[in-house]
Structure 1
Amino acid sequence: MFEGFTLERIDTGEVTLRVRHGGSGPPVVLLHGHPRTHTTWYQVAPALAADFTVVCPDLRGYGQSDKPAADEDHTQYSKRSMAADIVGLMVALGHEQFAVVGHDRGSQVAYRTAMDHPERVSKLVVMDGVPVVEALERCDSDFAEAWWHWWFFAQTAKPAERVICADPETWYNAWTSNGPDQLGPENHADFLAAIRDPATVHAMVEDYRAGPRCDRRHDEDYRAAGRQLECPMLMLWSTKDDMEEIYGDPLAVWRPWCPGIVGHGIDSPHHIAENAPAELVQSLQEFL
């Protein structure tokens, strides 16, 4: 995977991230979702590297990146903390301004990076995600049925980690819908190593615990202040997932945050980078 890319660990200030980077041209950072690692981009990053300097980290808590202990408000796993990691990483690599692409949980880190650090982010792409506060305020029985794990992970009375770690490969469908034929053998091996590590599972769950707590407050504060995203923004979503079923027009959810947003669906299940890499690369190249 990632021929011609460099794999290293980089100190971002508060944590050290495992990072793969390569290519040349304008910098773009690709942020994975749950429960993936940076290797989810193994078909996308090399295709972009002919035109861009591509940076693919494991998010804080995920894969082989640092997993700090969390406080009662789970602020160490807030998207604000993760966004600060991304800025620290890109500055360490010599990039003062850069584009950000995020999928799933990574989409929340991506838009938080653009909101908190508008001087740093030149363009923003979110995939299969809406602002945390928008998701929570739209929650109904359909959302709860489809995304019940949000609430299971977020509560702390009966820690989800104990259930997941009892049989992580079954929990994450590691030999069925997330098997090596779907993920590719090397990407699958990295995914397996992550979900088999109890510390990683705990940190991934902490990411969700931050959602209805500090992440929601950060969104509410910006919305109350009338803050909007300042950079050009593209949204992409998987048409074989449930974004349209839950939200109708996903772009309408984002317009109060970015009136000039553009976007479209891609004929793919949820993990677009693995299931429809060619279509994703084309969309990213045209926008970036």
Structure 2
Amino acid sequence: MPHRDRAAALAAATPTPGFFDGFEERSAPLPDGGQIFCRIGGEGPPLLLLHGYPQTSAMWHAIAPDLARHYTVICADLRGYGRSHKPAGGGDHAAYSKRSMAQDMATLMTVLGHDRFRILAHDRGARVAHRLAADHADRVLGLAILDIAPTREMYRHTRTPFARRYWHWFWLVQPAPFPETMIGRDPDWFWLEKCDTAPAGLGPFCQQALREYLEYFNDPAAIHASCEDYRAAIGIDLAHDDADAGRKLPMPVLALWGADGAIEEFFDCVALWRERAEQVSGRALPGGHYLAEECPDAVLREVIPFLASLTDS
């Protein structure tokens, strides 16, 4: 089905049964006047879930209900994405530095009454989680990350084959409004075409999640914000990483990645994370980039015992 027809069909589709049943939706205010949208469900110790690009907190629909049996699960939309605020990036793109995005999440957890917490994060959200753990080490008990190696180290090890595979890393960072204008001509086509080139195609995405992804990506402010996210990654984020001066994350890190994805093909994921964290374990899972939607059961089998091993002492 052509992407434009598929987008129209998704818009008219009935909701996916069981989609975040039992979760409430909230928008938490921030001191700067912005807000972070989140879905909250379950009882127990707090667990923060952060999504990737070009998605929203909807990506956790197949995992969050199981985790909510053990934890108070907070699935947040990152700034610039979904229903969260979308400030201007600024000349140095600092508004979308992972430090700024991480501070949003630290503030969100404070607003919700959670001092210390666990994190499960994917893709861009995992880069935010890395900075959150670095800047607020006293609050993060541990983090499980899906299909990334550390940003600085991935750039350092980039070669032509990876650049061809991850072309968007080098295209989205071009000065505004070049990528924004081109994406804005047909956001549905861009979203569906980019994700359809993943090893599993669009098959892993449920209809209601896809509807949400497309709806909120059609906002020009979201398109700009997502470009700013990548512009920050190749600039100010690297400066923040360098300023860490070899300081490593003290809490446990679980790194999971897709056996069919770019991380497996081009990087030694565990070795690179051991450059940035003191305690690292991990392995490849049977899937590509979108593990939480491609193989949720496999993710849960790894994540649940890891999270349970983290103690608030």
Question: Aligned to 1:187, which of 195, 198, 209?
Answer: 209
Q: Which residue of structure 1 aligns with residue 251 of structure 2?
A: 231
Q: State the 1:24 CA deviation.
A: 0.8
Query: Does structure 1 retain, via aligned residues, the 8 Å contact 2:162–2:262?
Result: no
The one-letter code matched in structure 2 to 1:206 is E
Query: Does structure 2 retain, via aligned residues, the 8 Å contact 1:110–1:125?
Result: no
TM-score with structure 1 setting the length: 0.95
Q: State the 1:19 CA deviation.
A: 0.6
Query: Does structure 2 retain, via aligned residues, the 8 Å contact 1:169–1:175?
Result: no
After TM superposition, the structure 1 = structure 2 runs for residues 23-102 of structure 1, keeping only pairs within 5 Å, are 23-102=42-121
Q: Residue 212 in 1 paired to residue 231 in 2? A: no
Q: State the 1:260 CA deviation.
A: 2.0
Count residues in correspondence. Answer: 285
1:181–1:258 Cα change, 3 Å: closer
Q: State the 1:176 CA deviation.
A: 7.7
Cα distance in 1, alignment partners of residues 298 and 193 from structure 2: 25
After TM superposition, the structure 1 = structure 2 runs for residues 156-171 of structure 1, keeping only pairs within 5 Å, are 156=175, 159-171=178-190
Query: Does structure 2 retain, via aligned residues, the 8 Å contact 1:21–1:55?
Result: yes
Q: State the 1:140 CA deviation.
A: 1.3
Query: Does structure 2 retain, via aligned residues, the 8 Å contact 1:31–1:59?
Result: yes
| 2:37 aligned counterpart, secondary structure | strand
Q: State the 1:175 CA deviation.
A: 10
Q: Residue 5 in 1 paired to residue 27 in 2? A: no
Q: Which runs of 4+ in 1 moved over 2 A?
A: 12-15, 174-182
| 1:192 aligned counterpart, secondary structure | helix
The one-letter code matched in structure 2 to 1:109 is V
Cα distance in 2, alignment partners of residues 38 and 195 from structure 1: 13
Cα distance in 1, alignment partners of residues 114 and 194 from structure 2: 39
1:194-248 Cα offsets, whole Å, 9 max, x none, are 22211111111110010111100001111x2x2110111100001111112111x
Gaps of 5+ in 2: 1-18, 308-313
The one-letter code matched in structure 1 to 2:254 is L
TM-score with structure 2 setting the length: 0.87
Identity in percent: 39
| 2:304 aligned counterpart, secondary structure | helix
The alignment's C-alpha RMSD in Å is 1.7
